[in-house]
Structure 1
Amino acid sequence: MSHALIADLGGTNARFALVPINQYQPKEVSVYSCKEYESFFDAVSAYVDQCSVDFDSINAIVLAIAGPVNQDVIRFSNNPWHFTRQQIQEHFGADKKIALLNDFDAIAHSLEVIPSEELVQIGEPSAVDPKAAAWVLGAGTGLGVACVVPQENSVNIVLPSEGGHVDLATCNDQEDYILHFLRDRHHRVSAERVISGMGLENIYEALALREGTSKRLSAPEIGEALERGDDPIADATLAQFFTFLGRFTGDLILSVETRGGVYIAGGIVPRYLEHIKRSAFRDAMQDKGRMKAFVSPIPTFVVMSEYPGLVGCANYASYLVDQA
Structure 2
Amino acid sequence: MSHALIADLGGTNARFALVPLHQFVPLEVRVFSCANYSNFFDAAADYIKDCSVDMKDIEAVVLAIAGPVNQAVIRFSNNPWQFTRAEIQSYFGENKAVALLNDFDAVGHCLEILTPDDVVVVGEHSEVDLKAPSWVVGSGTGLGVSCVVPQDNGPNIVLPGEGGHVDLSACNEVEDQILAFLRARHHRVSAERVLSGMGLENIYEALAWQEGIEKRLSAPEIGEALKAGNDPIAIATLEQFFVFLGRVIGDLVLSVESRGGVYIAGGIVPRYLQEILKSGFRDAMQDKGRMKAFVSPIPTFVVMSEYPGLMGCACYASYLVSKA
Q: Normalising TM by the smaller chain, what interval?
A: over 0.9
User: How many angstroms apart in 2 are the aligned matches of 1:139 and 1:126?
Assistant: 22
How far off is 1:161 after superposition?
Answer: 1.6
More divergent stretch after superposition (118-127 vs 144-153): 118-127
How far off is 1:148 after superposition?
Answer: 0.5
Q: Which residue of 2 aligns with 1:61?
A: 61
Give yes or no for contact 2:165–2:190 (8 Å, CA) kept in 1. Answer: yes
* Aligned ranges 1:157-306 → 2 under 5 Å: 157-306=157-306
How far off is 1:118 after superposition?
Answer: 1.0
Give yes or no for contact 1:11–1:78 (8 Å, CA) kept in 2. Answer: yes
* Aligned ranges 1:108-187 → 2 under 5 Å: 108-187=108-187
Give yes or no for contact 1:145–1:160 (8 Å, CA) kept in 2. Answer: no
Structure 2 counterpart of 1:141, which letter?
T
C-alpha RMSD of the superposition: 0.5
User: How many angstroms apart in 2 are the aligned matches of 1:219 and 1:12?
Assistant: 13
Q: Which residue of 2 aligns with 1:15?
A: 15
How far off is 1:177 after superposition?
Answer: 0.4
Give yes or no for contact 2:65–2:76 (8 Å, CA) kept in 1. Answer: yes
How far off is 1:127 after superposition?
Answer: 1.3
1:156-215: per-residue Cα shift (whole Å, max 9, x none)? 111022000000100000000000000000001100000110000000000001101100
**3-state SS of 2:49 partner:** helix
How far off is 1:130 after superposition?
Answer: 0.3
Q: Which residue of 2 aligns with 1:71?
A: 71
How far off is 1:125 after superposition?
Answer: 2.7
Q: Which residue of 2 aligns with 1:89?
A: 89
How far off is 1:154 after superposition?
Answer: 1.4
Give yes or no for contact 1:3–1:21 (8 Å, CA) kept in 2. Answer: yes
User: How many angstroms apart in 2 are the aligned matches of 1:155 and 1:306?
Assistant: 22
User: How many angstroms apart in 2 are the aligned matches of 1:244 and 1:233?
Assistant: 16
Structure 2 counterpart of 1:194, which letter?
V
> TM-score, normalised on structure 2?
0.99
More divergent stretch after superposition (63-72 vs 107-116): 107-116
Q: Which residue of 2 aligns with 1:37?
A: 37
2:313 is equivalent to residue 313 of structure 1: yes
User: How many angstroms apart in 1 are the aligned matches of 2:146 and 2:160?
Assistant: 5
**3-state SS of 1:270 partner:** helix
Structure 2 counterpart of 1:95, which letter?
N
Structure 2 counterpart of 1:287, which letter?
D
Runs of 5+ consecutive residues of structure 2 not aligned to the other structure = none
**3-state SS of 1:250 partner:** helix
Runs of 4+, deviation exceeding 6 Å: none
**3-state SS of 2:67 partner:** coil
Q: Which residue of 2 aligns with 1:100?
A: 100
1:282-313: per-residue Cα shift (whole Å, max 9, x none)? 00000000000000000000000000000000
1:230-281: per-residue Cα shift (whole Å, max 9, x none)? 0000000000000000000000000000000000000000000000000000
> TM-score, normalised on structure 1?
0.99
Give yes or no for contact 2:125–2:297 (8 Å, CA) kept in 1. Answer: no
Structure 1 counterpart of 2:222, which letter?
I
Give yes or no for contact 1:5–1:60 (8 Å, CA) kept in 2. Answer: yes
1:123-172: per-residue Cα shift (whole Å, max 9, x none)? 00331000000000100000000000000021111102200000010000
User: How many angstroms apart in 1 are the aligned matches of 2:322 and 2:54?
Assistant: 21
**3-state SS of 1:112 partner:** coil
Percent of matched pairs sharing the same residue:
73
**3-state SS of 1:50 partner:** coil
**3-state SS of 1:15 partner:** strand
**3-state SS of 2:313 partner:** helix
Structure 2 counterpart of 1:180, which letter?
A
